[in-house]
Structure 1
Amino acid sequence: MKKIIIASILMISGFIQAQNFQGMAVYESKTSTADFMKGMQGNKDITPEMQKQIEERMKKMFEKTFILNFDKSASIYKEEEKLDAPGQQGGGRMMMSMMGGGGTHYKNVKQKQVIVDKEFFGKEFLIKDSLPKYDWKLDGESKQIGSYNCFKATAVVKVSESDFRNFRFRNKEGEKKEETAKDSTKAKKTNFTDDWEMPKENTITAWYCPEIPVNQGPENYWGLPGLILEVNDGKTIILCSKIVMNPKDKVEIVPATKGKEVTQKEYDEIVKKKMEEMREMNSGPGGQQRGGFRMGGGR
């Protein structure tokens, strides 16, 4: 068995050393919707029928397939192209972008650069920044992913405020008594997003494959001694389902060029400011919504 593994590693290493080497990996991304649905509970404006529709739409947005094309130094990570389903125009596309979909992630490990193109509220942005630094802690634990032997690594990372997959539902149980003791004339919160919070940092668990000695991975993940085949941040799981070495159809691994150039921090601030504006629009006097923004989007 060990001889077979060693032979596989030598064969793959030979592929990677080739001048025109490319690899392709397919990833399935699933994000738990529990926190989002919990945040809608108790909202009198949302009927059970509406809640079911929202849950179905969110499930589709939160379960996506991505393709990672990579060579020895760079990669392109892009959502698999599909025909737009009804309701996926306009607001639906905006929400997909905020939930980690849409656009492309380009990483160049030699230049330590990441370039991501995003569309937000009809505007195209080109996020150019340095690759995030991960202080990976390597673990001796191993497991099989498909036919590949993978090893565990963990890291604590700063959360992106423009990625709404990171939202957590705030535990309000301990605050109820305190709230009832406050001035009854104080305006009550009417927006269900008031019960959400964005953590400052998160613990990432990754599984990498030394048999494929490239320090690439899905999204912005990189920096391990082998291709990252699985990532879990507690809410979102990204799992590799297929790997092809030197596919017949080569892909040009180059970054996007269109859009307003911003850093990741600048883009986060733009999204944060816009969402605060939408929150104000959706929380009119008496708790009535005034804006047209909807979670399921598009109508």
Structure 2
Amino acid sequence: MLYFNFKISKRLLKYSFLFLVLPLCSQNIQSVKIEYTVSLSEAENTTIPIEYRKEVQAKNNAIANLFFVLEADRDISKFQAVDNMPIDSERVMRGAKAAVGGGFVYFNDKDKKIKTGDVFGKRMTIIQNNDQFQDWNITDVSKKILGFNCYKAKTSYKSFDKNEDEMLIEVEAWFSPEIPLSSGPFNYDGLPGVILEFSKNPKYTFKASKIEFNSNNFDLTEPKAKKTIGQKQYEEKVKKVLKDIRERG
């Protein structure tokens, strides 16, 4: 019998056909290492003032050359950006990573979901809320990615924009039950298979470009920081900085 590292809900049982078509070779998948490329999902905003367009284009070029790595077994996953190209401006690279969430290392085990990285000049670990990762609507829409059968799933949760107004974050993921590890980019999991394509709202799309199974070349050590805060505390810090920026004009 195959073992899946997730809780089966009534919604998942509705799509129990996914489990019946798995190849026998999936039983031998104990870990996975996936590289993702990033692509712009929207046309460049032509309303950007002309004096900023060169900087925006430099950031977009840097984003197009980023790649991310997900390392996961049945209990732990780790997702992070990998530096793979020289950039003349360190500021451009930081901006590119920040734009797509690459400024953090995302770590998930049985007990917690965290992200660790620079928070306004200080390295911190943020304990993330689980509720935004679990409530998936699985569809029977399918396509192949790197030769694996994938199914579309959607979820959403509330966040806020730069004006602190409430906004809805819509997430779309394509997961493959042929790779029965419940992991994905940015600590998103809870699906009966690993996520091979992922987008939010959708501005940027992450798509698997390379998959390696049962490799010994893994690093699943938990990232560390001197200070740990909760998601609510982190959001309060972000809102304070946004407010200060607005007040400075």
Q: TM-score, normalised by structure 1?
A: 0.67
Match of 2:69 among 61, 67, 84: 67
Give per-residue Cα distances to partners, 1:188-212, cap 9 Å, x unaligned. Answer: xxxxx7xx78652122221110000
In structure 2, how many angstroms separate the alpha carbons of the residues matched to 1:56 and 1:94?
A: 12
In structure 1, how many angstroms separate the alpha carbons of the residues matched to 2:243 and 2:149?
A: 45
Q: Which residue of 1 aligns with 2:137?
A: 137
* Structure 1 pair 266–92 and aligned structure 2 pair: CA distance change class (3 A): farther
Give per-residue Cα distances to partners, 1:150-183, cap 9 Å, x unaligned. Answer: 1111112223x4xxxxx6xxxxxxxxxxxxxxxx
Report the alpha carbon displacement of residue 275 of structure 1 after superposing the two structures with TM.
2.5
Q: Secondary structure at the match of 1:213?
A: coil
Map residues 103-252 of structure 1 onto 2, 5 A cutoff.
103-108=104-109, 110-111=110-111, 113-131=112-130, 132-159=132-159, 161=160, 200-233=167-200, 234-249=202-217, 251-252=218-219
Report the alpha carbon displacement of residue 95 of structure 1 after superposing the two structures with TM.
6.6
Report the alpha carbon displacement of residue 14 of structure 1 after superposing the two structures with TM.
1.7
Contact 2:116 2:223 in 1 (8 A): yes
Instruction: Determine which structure has the larger strand proportion and give its number.
Output: 2
* Structure 1 pair 92–242 and aligned structure 2 pair: CA distance change class (3 A): closer
Percent of aligned positions that are identical: 27
Q: Secondary structure at the match of 1:247?
A: coil
In structure 1, how many angstroms separate the alpha carbons of the residues matched to 2:89 and 2:166?
A: 30
In structure 2, how many angstroms separate the alpha carbons of the residues matched to 1:60 and 1:207?
A: 25
Contact 1:134 1:223 in 2 (8 A): yes
Q: Secondary structure at the match of 1:73?
A: coil
Q: Secondary structure at the match of 2:211?
A: strand
Q: Which residue of 1 aligns with 2:90?
A: 88
Q: Which residue of 2 aligns with 1:29?
A: 38
Map residues 49-68 of structure 1 onto 2, 5 A cutoff.
50-63=51-64, 64-68=66-70
Q: CA RMSD in A?
A: 2.7
Question: For structure 2, which runs of at least 5 residues remain unmatched after alignment?
Answer: 1-19
Report the alpha carbon displacement of residue 241 of structure 1 after superposing the two structures with TM.
1.1
Q: Secondary structure at the match of 2:220?
A: coil
* Structure 1 pair 256–129 and aligned structure 2 pair: CA distance change class (3 A): same
AA of the residue aligned to 1:51:
Y
Map residues 273-288 of structure 1 onto 2, 5 A cutoff.
273-281=240-248, 283=249
* Structure 1 pair 61–119 and aligned structure 2 pair: CA distance change class (3 A): farther
In structure 2, how many angstroms separate the alpha carbons of the residues matched to 1:142 and 1:220?
A: 23
* Structure 1 pair 118–36 and aligned structure 2 pair: CA distance change class (3 A): farther
Give per-residue Cα distances to partners, 1:263-287, cap 9 Å, x unaligned. Answer: 1221122122113213333x2xxxx
Contact 2:35 2:209 in 1 (8 A): yes
* Structure 1 pair 32–11 and aligned structure 2 pair: CA distance change class (3 A): closer
AA of the residue aligned to 2:115:
V
Contact 1:97 1:120 in 2 (8 A): no
Report the alpha carbon displacement of residue 134 of structure 1 after superposing the two structures with TM.
2.6
In structure 2, how many angstroms separate the alpha carbons of the residues matched to 1:218 and 1:56?
A: 25
User: How many matched pairs?
Assistant: 227
Pick which of 140-149 and 75-84 moved more.
Answer: 75-84
In structure 1, how many angstroms separate the alpha carbons of the residues matched to 2:67 and 2:78?
A: 14
Give per-residue Cα distances to partners, 1:231-289, cap 9 Å, x unaligned. Answer: 1222221111111001242x2312211142111221122122113213333x2xxxxxx
Report the alpha carbon displacement of residue 227 of structure 1 after superposing the two structures with TM.
0.5
Contact 2:59 2:96 in 1 (8 A): no
Report the alpha carbon displacement of residue 32 of structure 1 after superposing the two structures with TM.
4.7
Q: Secondary structure at the match of 2:225?
A: coil
In structure 2, how many angstroms separate the alpha carbons of the residues matched to 1:37 and 1:88?
A: 25
